[in-house]
């Protein structure tokens, strides 16, 4: 096959490109320039997609003796990832920009361009498996769950999966990948993994948001709507937060209060007891399917749901339902007519609207949705 290897400058994508070439494919390397004003150097392992990363990717391509290009996707990245990130915070949600980047940049913009140029597939260093079954193409967890990255790929569609190539899917550990890189003479074998949001390399999300959003003072209220304090901008708060709350009076029981939700329309931050963070049901109207389910989504079905990249999957029952207009709230997406509703067997904690929930049946990824509503187990929940 003719393979376009997306090379981030990290060890995973370097080994993926090397394996693709070793397997006999015609491989071309490409690095995506996503920042309009990239820094010249990384700070430890913070951020990614810098000039230094592009140089690392080029050195690997030279070692592998494959053609190498840098493609400027900065305009598309700003529109589909950065602007979406800001819009989600303005709507009172906490987004995952890495999933949005996979959806809109790496496996939409990049893949579309690759296919237009005659490539058969795009190879990346993700740890996941694509299987062809009698029901079509399916995305499955990697062989080693400790490194499994199927969660961040849950946004992919059936057609996109047909053009995805994940050479690392059967590799048991990242340690083995680093060892293989060293044996191949790849100099970045011990390069640290990147973390934090790539366009906020300093890691201070609140300070970054302050520069990109207007802050409007508002009320901090309890679950019954009583004003208990004030805030200088709701975007500075996250669900589950305890410290930094400007609450003028203690709770009746004297226990600490936590952020339970953000109400963007009324510009309120809702606080309450820790037990109210236990979530029984999550729902979202921004959803997609990775593979054909093989059953009616409108009927309740058993599955597992994962709400963070490294979270344990939680047994649950899910269903696709039509939104009742009489029951629509500010937490529903205005454009959504249907939503996926998931009720977990045991309560989830640390759930914030804006997070992505990925549904699994066994090791197979069924699809994903962005959480719009997280409903507490308590009857007086939000």
DSSP string, 14-81: HHHHHHHHHTT-EEEEEEEE--SS--SS-BTTB--S-HHHHHHHHHHHHHHT--EEEEE-HHHHIIII
98 is catalytic: no
| Residue 206 binned pLDDT confidence (cut-offs 50, 70, 90) | confident
Q: Tell me the two tokens of residue 81.
A: 């990832």
**77 and 56 within one domain:** yes
CATH number for the domain that contains residue 354:
2.40.30.10
- Number of other residues whose CB lies within 10 A of the CB of residue 273: 17
Flag whether 203 is in a domain: no
Residue 234 clears pLDDT 50, i.e. is over it: yes
| Total residue count of the chain as it appears in this document | 382
Q: Range with the lowest mean pLDDT among 25-34, 199-208, 352-361?
A: 199-208
Q: Which residue has the tokens 């029951």?
A: 327
Q: What is the pLDDT of residue 306?
A: 97
pLDDT higher than threshold 70 for residue 57: yes
* Per-residue pLDDT, 48: 62
Query: Is the domain of 228 the same as that of 349?
Result: no
254 and 292 housed in the same domain: no
pLDDT of residue 352: 87
* Per-residue pLDDT at 379: 41
Range of the domain at 125: 2-183
pLDDT at 345: 96
**Rounded to whole angstroms, how far apart are CA atoms 292 and 139?**
11
- Asked whether the predicted pLDDT for residue 211 surpasses 50, the reply is yes
The per-residue pLDDT for 195 is 65
**170 & 234 share domain:** no
- Least Cα distance to 282 among 251, 256, 253, 308 occurs for 308
Per-residue pLDDT at 15: 97
Query: Does the pLDDT at position 40 exceed 70?
Result: no
**Residue 194 in domain:** no
Q: Which of 124-138, 182-196, 244-258 has the lowest average pLDDT? A: 244-258
**pLDDT score, position 263:** 85
Rounded to whole angstroms, how far apart are CA atoms 117 and 4? Answer: 10
Residue 205 included in any domain: no
Considering the domain architecture, whether residues 232 and 171 belong to the same structural domain is answered as no
Both 27 and 130 in a single domain? yes
Which residues face 121 on adjacent strands? Answer: 3
Q: Please state, for a pLDDT cut of 70, what percent of the chain lies above it.
A: 93
pLDDT of residue 172: 86
In this predicted model, what pLDDT tens digit does every residue of 280-312 receive, in sequence order? 999 999 999 998 898 999 999 999 999 998 889
Is residue 134 domain-shared with residue 147, that is, in the same domain? yes
10 and 151 both lie in a single domain: yes
Strands 279-284 and 268-272: unpaired
Query: Whole-angstrom Cα distance, residue 286 to residue 368?
Result: 8
Residue 161: other Cβ atoms inside 10 A: 23
Choose, from 49, 98, 164, 198, the residue flagged as catalytic: 198
Q: Could you give the number of structural domains in the chain?
A: 3
Which entry of 48, 49, 101, 164 is annotated as an active-site residue?
101
Contacts of 24 (CB under 8 A, 6+ apart): none
From the CA atom positions of the chain, what is the Rg in Å? 22
Cβ contact 376:304 at 8 Å: no
Mean residue pLDDT across the chain: 88
Q: Please say which residue of 132, 162, 183 terminates a domain.
A: 183
| pLDDT at residue number 36 | 64
Q: Identify whether residues 20 and 54 lie together within a single domain.
A: yes
**Catalytic residue flag (residue 164):** no
Residues 82-137: pLDDT tens digits?
999 998 888 878 888 888 898 899 889 999 999 999 999 999 999 999 999 888 89
> 204 in a domain, yes or no?
no
- pLDDT of 14 > 90? The answer is yes
Q: What percent of the chain has pLDDT over 90?
A: 53
Stretch 337-364: mean pLDDT: 93
Whether 39 and 162 map to the same domain: the answer is: yes
Residue environment code for 297-317, b if the CB has 16+ CB neighbours within 10 A, otherwise e: beeebebbbbbeeeeebbebe
With 0-12 / 13-18 / 19 or more C-beta atoms within 10 angstroms meaning exposed / middle / buried, residue 381 is buried
The Cα–Cα gap between 307 and 321 comes to 20
Run of H or E including 277: none
Which band of pLDDT confidence, cut at 50, 70 and 90, is reported for residue 68?
A: very high
Q: What is the DSSP letter of 292?
A: -
Q: How confident is the model at residue 19 (pLDDT cuts 50, 70, 90)?
A: very high
357 located within any domain: yes
Contact present, 120 and 3 (Cβ < 8 Å): yes
**Do 288 and 371 have their domain in common?**
yes
What would the mean pLDDT of 237-254 be, rounded to a whole number? 79
CA 5 to chain centre: 21
Please tell me the predicted confidence (pLDDT) of residue 278. 92
Complete DSSP assignment for 142-205: -SSTTT--GGGGTT--HHHHTTEE-TTTT---HHHHHHHHHHTT-TTTTPPPPBS-TT-TT--H
The pLDDT confidence band at residue 38, using thresholds 50, 70 and 90, is low
């Amino acid at each position: 096959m003719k393979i376009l290897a997306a090379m981030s400058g990290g060890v995973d994508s370097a080994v993926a490109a090397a394996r693709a070439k070793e397997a006999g494919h015609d491989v071309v390397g490409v690095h995506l320039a996503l920042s309009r004003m990239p820094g010249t150097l990384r700070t430890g392992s913070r951020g990614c997609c810098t000039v230094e990363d592009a140089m690392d990717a080029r050195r690997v391509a030279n070692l592998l003796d494959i053609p190498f290009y840098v493609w400027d996707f900065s305009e598309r990245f700003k529109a589909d990832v950065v602007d979406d990130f800001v819009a989600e915070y303005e709507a009172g949600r906490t987004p995952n920009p890495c999933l949005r980047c996979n959806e809109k940049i790496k496996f939409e913009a990049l893949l579309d361009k690759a296919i237009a140029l005659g490539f058969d597939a795009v190879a990346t260093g993700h740890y996941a498996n694509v299987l062809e079954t009698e029901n079509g193409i399916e995305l499955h967890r990697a062989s080693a769950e400790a490194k499994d990255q199927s969660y961040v790929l849950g946004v992919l569609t059936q057609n996109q999966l047909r053009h995805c190539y994940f050479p690392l899917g059967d590799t048991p550990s990242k340690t083995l990948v680093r060892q293989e890189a060293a044996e191949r003479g790849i100099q970045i074998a011990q390069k640290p993994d990147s973390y934090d949001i790539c366009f906020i390399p300093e890691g201070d999300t609140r300070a970054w948001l302050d520069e990109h959003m207007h802050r409007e003072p508002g009320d901090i209220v309890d679950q019954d709507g009583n004003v208990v304090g004030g805030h200088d901008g709701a975007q500075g708060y996250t669900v589950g937060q305890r410290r930094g709350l400007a609450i003028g009076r203690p709770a009746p029981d004297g226990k600490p209060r936590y952020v339970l939700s953000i109400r963007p329309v009324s510009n309120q931050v809702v606080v309450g007891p820790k037990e109210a963070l236990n979530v029984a049901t999550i729902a979202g109207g921004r959803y997609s399917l990775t593979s054909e389910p093989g059953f009616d989504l409108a009927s309740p079905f058993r599955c597992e749901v994962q709400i963070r990249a490294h979270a344990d999957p939680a047994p649950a029952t899910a269903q696709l339902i039509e939104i009742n207009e009489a029951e629509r709230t500010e937490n529903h997406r205005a454009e959504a007519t249907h939503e996926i509703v998931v009720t977990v067997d045991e309560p989830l904690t640390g759930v914030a609207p804006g997070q992505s929930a990925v549904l699994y049946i066994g090791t197979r990824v069924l699809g994903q949705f962005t959480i719009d509503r997280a409903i507490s187990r308590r009857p007086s929940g939000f």
